[in-house]
């Protein structure tokens, strides 16, 4: 019965198997047919075509290869020319050593174990935690009831109120907690509204090229038409409205109804901070073309240059009341910024200019999932409401925040500078976000070699880089890029020593690669 037709998980199972009775209950009352004609319902030939079409490069084949190399490295005679894998494929700061901020983690420790907030334990708790940590935890537990209870489908009220205060202080314009949905990361809200918007494959969404592949994947899953628009590498990855309007006209000509427009600002994978002109022009375009504006603003705290972040909401409001009809959804997340709390899957969506009965539909859709995880909701609250000057936790908070931001700035600058010294590589500086998207002028020999292997040339380059150095980056083709250009996306999240090592390895690899294929 426990024969080898089951995959066992090794030794672990023996214990259980041996405890079983030798003969298992007879099921002779059933006709023991062999069901030879069984046709699996979950078979590649019979799956939803949209699911098969979706792609997600950030955790794609190259990352699976990296994982296999990492396993091989654990063997004594691995024969690899490097001793560790450097993951630069994903914006996952704490996985590459970024420490969590103390304040939110201390509060989380109390809200998850509210026994420590009881009067009888307070003498101990107050030795462990500053007064503002205890006060915040008390407020959050009171508002949620328990971190272990489903919340309102929009999120815990106190958390939404803090989001509103944050938005109002950021923009100088009012917000409303009824228009805030707390979500599992930013993706959940994006997917929900896209799902409402897309009726069939004649509905299209404007997506930047290059883009974060969540958007192309979501469009593919919904069977939406992608209407690509170019970010102009020669203009610091600004929006090229001429090519955008041409792409829009072309889509309409083939029967597509444009329904929405995605803008990622600061940009992923491109790192630009959009100009006010670009943003205003975008809003105008959305109003002219009846488009919902999806503003992916998850990198709003990751800004490194002189251009400050400005939200689409602020830009919209400053344009004046005649622009109020604009339907805007703004997304934020706990995963990015200097907070970097990806694992908490916290985030919010602000709905601006959405009709009341559509708000009800969004609420219904979110209520089918009951609510986003409450730990993530509380982490979102702490992101938007950090310790303030004069509060006990502020000095530590300020120091931790500045250390992370200063280091990110230095690393962003250094990486771009080194990339720009390499033959056939050029790279815009990161004005924001967590990525660089250098362009590689691949030699004809490399393109031919890639084609011979049936590989996309930039994926070929990235595989060679991984195999030679252990550095894992994502090919530009995973994000989209102007025809005939090749790029890769790298984070600059590993610590400074690791970044130095990575840059040295990369430079050596790149020079060798260019020599080999020139």
Considering only residues 239, 248, 342, 505, which one is a binding residue for a copy of itself as defined by CB under 8 A? Answer: 342
Contact window for a copy of itself (CB under 8 A) among 39-47, 70-78, 461-469, 476-484? 39-47
What does the chain come to in residues?
Answer: 518
Nearer to a copy of itself, 230 or 380 (CB): 380
Nearer to a copy of itself, 156 or 446 (CB): 156
Enter the tokens of residue 297. 């603003």
- Would you give the binding string for a copy of itself spanning residues 146-175, x where CB under 8 A is met? xxxxxx-x----------xx--xx--xxxx
For the chain, the straight-line distance linking the first and the last C-alpha, in angstroms and rounded, comes to 61
Q: How far is the CB of 234 from a copy of itself (least distance, A)?
A: 23
Q: How far is the CB of 480 from a copy of itself (least distance, A)?
A: 16
Return d(Cα 412, Cα 421) in angstroms, integer: 15
Under the binding rule (CB under 8 A), the answer on residue 62 touching a copy of itself is: no
Under the binding rule (CB under 8 A), the answer on residue 54 touching a copy of itself is: yes
**Non-local CB neighbours of 316 within 8 Å, separated by 6+ positions:** 283, 323, 324, 326, 328, 352
Under the binding rule (CB under 8 A), the answer on residue 20 touching a copy of itself is: yes
Under the binding rule (CB under 8 A), the answer on residue 312 touching a copy of itself is: no
Burial, 407: exposed, middle or buried (Cβ in 10 Å; 0-12, 13-18, 19+)? middle
Under the binding rule (CB under 8 A), the answer on residue 113 touching a copy of itself is: yes
Q: How far is the CB of 358 from a copy of itself (least distance, A)?
A: 5
Nearer to a copy of itself, 126 or 516 (CB): 126
**500-504: long-range pairs with CB below 8 Å, 24+:** 501/86, 502/86, 502/88, 502/469, 502/471, 503/414, 503/415, 503/418
Return d(Cα 85, Cα 69) in angstroms, integer: 8
Q: How far is CA 48 from CA 59, 188, 217, 222, in A?
A: 21, 21, 14, 11
Nearer to a copy of itself, 19 or 253 (CB): 19
Return d(Cα 105, Cα 292) in angstroms, integer: 36
Nearer to a copy of itself, 140 or 466 (CB): 140
Under the binding rule (CB under 8 A), the answer on residue 455 touching a copy of itself is: no
| Strands 203-209 vs 225-232: parallel, antiparallel or unpaired | parallel
Under the binding rule (CB under 8 A), the answer on residue 376 touching a copy of itself is: yes
Under the binding rule (CB under 8 A), the answer on residue 246 touching a copy of itself is: no
Under the binding rule (CB under 8 A), the answer on residue 8 touching a copy of itself is: yes
Considering only residues 22, 43, 74, 452, which one is a binding residue for a copy of itself as defined by CB under 8 A? Answer: 43
What H or E segment, with its residue span, contains residue 487?
strand 486-491
Tell me which residue has tokens 């590989």: 455
Q: How far is the CB of 464 from a copy of itself (least distance, A)?
A: 24
By CB under 8 A, what part of segment 127-146 binds a copy of itself? 127-128, 144-146
Under the binding rule (CB under 8 A), the answer on residue 340 touching a copy of itself is: yes
């Amino acid at each position: 019965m426990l024969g080898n037709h089951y995959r066992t998980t090794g030794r672990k199972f023996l214990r259980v198997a041996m405890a079983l009775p030798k003969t298992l209950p007879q099921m002779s009352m059933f006709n023991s047919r062999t069901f030879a004609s069984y046709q699996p319902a979950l078979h590649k030939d019979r799956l939803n075509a949209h699911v098969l079409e979706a792609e997600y490069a950030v955790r794609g084949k190259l990352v699976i290869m990296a994982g296999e190399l990492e396993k091989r490295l654990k063997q004594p005679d691995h024969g690899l020319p490097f001793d560790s894998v450097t993951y630069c494929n994903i914006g996952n700061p704490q996985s590459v050593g970024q420490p969590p901020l103390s304040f939110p983690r201390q509060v989380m420790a109390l809200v998850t174990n509210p026994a420590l907030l009881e009067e009888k334990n307070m003498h101990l708790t107050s030795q462990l935690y500053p007064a503002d940590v205890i006060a915040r935890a008390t407020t959050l537990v009171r508002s949620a009831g328990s971190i272990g209870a489903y919340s309102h489908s929009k999120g815990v009220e106190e958390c939404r109120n803090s989001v509103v205060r944050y938005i109002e202080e950021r923009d100088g314009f009012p917000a409303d907690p009824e228009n805030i949905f707390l979500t599992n990361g930013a993706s959940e809200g994006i997917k929900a509204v896209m799902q409402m918007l897309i009726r069939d494959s004649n509905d299209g969404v404007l997506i930047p090229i290059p883009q974060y592949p969540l958007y192309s994947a979501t469009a593919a899953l919904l069977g939406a038409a992608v209407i690509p628009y170019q970010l102009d590498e020669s203009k610091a990855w600004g929006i090229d409205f001429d090519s955008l309007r041409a792409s829009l006209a072309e889509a309409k000509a083939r029967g597509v109804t444009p329904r929405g427009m995605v803008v990622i600002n600061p940009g992923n994978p491109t790192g630009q901070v959009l100009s006010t002109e670009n943003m205003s022009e975008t809003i105008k375009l959305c109003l002219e073309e009846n488009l919902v504006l999806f503003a992916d603003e998850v990198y709003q705290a990751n800004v490194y240059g002189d251009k400050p972040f400005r939200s689409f909401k602020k830009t919209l409001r400053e344009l004046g009341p005649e622009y109020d009809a604009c339907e805007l959804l703004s997304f934020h997340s706990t995963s990015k910024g200097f907070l970097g709390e990806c694992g908490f899957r916290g985030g919010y969506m602000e709905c601006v200019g959405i009709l009341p009965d559509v708000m009800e539909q969004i609420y219904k859709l979110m209520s089918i999932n009951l609510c986003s995880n409450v730990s993530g909701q509380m982490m979102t609250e702490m992101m938007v409401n950090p310790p303030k000057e004069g509060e006990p936790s502020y000095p530590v908070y300020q120091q931790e925040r500045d250390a992370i931001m200063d280091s990110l700035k230095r690393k962003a600058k250094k990486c771009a500078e080194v990339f720009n010294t390499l033959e056939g590589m050029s790279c815009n500086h990161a004005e924001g976000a967590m990525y660089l998207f250098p362009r590689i002028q691949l030699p004809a020999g490399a393109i031919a070699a890639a084609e011979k292997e049936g590989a996309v040339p930039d994926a070929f380059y990235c595989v060679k880089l991984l195999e030679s150095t252990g550095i894992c980056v994502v090919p530009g083709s995973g994000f989209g890029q102007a025809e005939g250009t090749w790029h890769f996306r790298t984070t600059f999240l590993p610590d400074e020593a690791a970044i130095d090592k990575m840059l040295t390895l990369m430079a050596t690899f790149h020079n060798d690669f260019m020599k080999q294929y020139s």
